[in-house]
Structure 1
Amino acid sequence: MLSVKTTENLAGVTVSGTYWDLNALYDALTNVIGEEESYPEFEACRIRVLGLCYDIRHAYQGDRNRG
């Protein structure tokens, strides 16, 4: 099960879950954002979501801190 909690200073969130949960979240987000330049007016949002996907991928690969 995925868990999302705000950080101490409310400047971000901490996402946690099993390998399978994080992998499913990653897949869902990449499906939602679509192909590059599909929606040029949303390209800035797409880049931000890709940054989140990068961190999620590294988390389920075991490259991020575990709490």
Structure 2
Amino acid sequence: MNFARLLLFGAIAYLVWRMLNPPLRRSDDRQRRAAPPDYEPMARCVQCGTHMPVASLSAGGRCRRCS
């Protein structure tokens, strides 16, 4: 009976400790999720007029289909 009480007391102490001291991994996860990705500026293809991200246009301002 004393061993069962000791286990019960240990389990309760562990649960209280876990509630008061959250794991460090959660803060790392929050930092990764907190920063939303930046938007990419859009531009229009010079030849066909399709709006595309600036990074996917060629130096002349044309999309892949038109260049």
Name the TM tier (shorter chain).
under 0.3
Normalising by structure 2, we get a TM-score of: 0.28
TM-score normalised by length of structure 1? 0.28
| Larger relative contact order (Cα-Cα within 8 Å, sequence gap ≥ 6) | 1
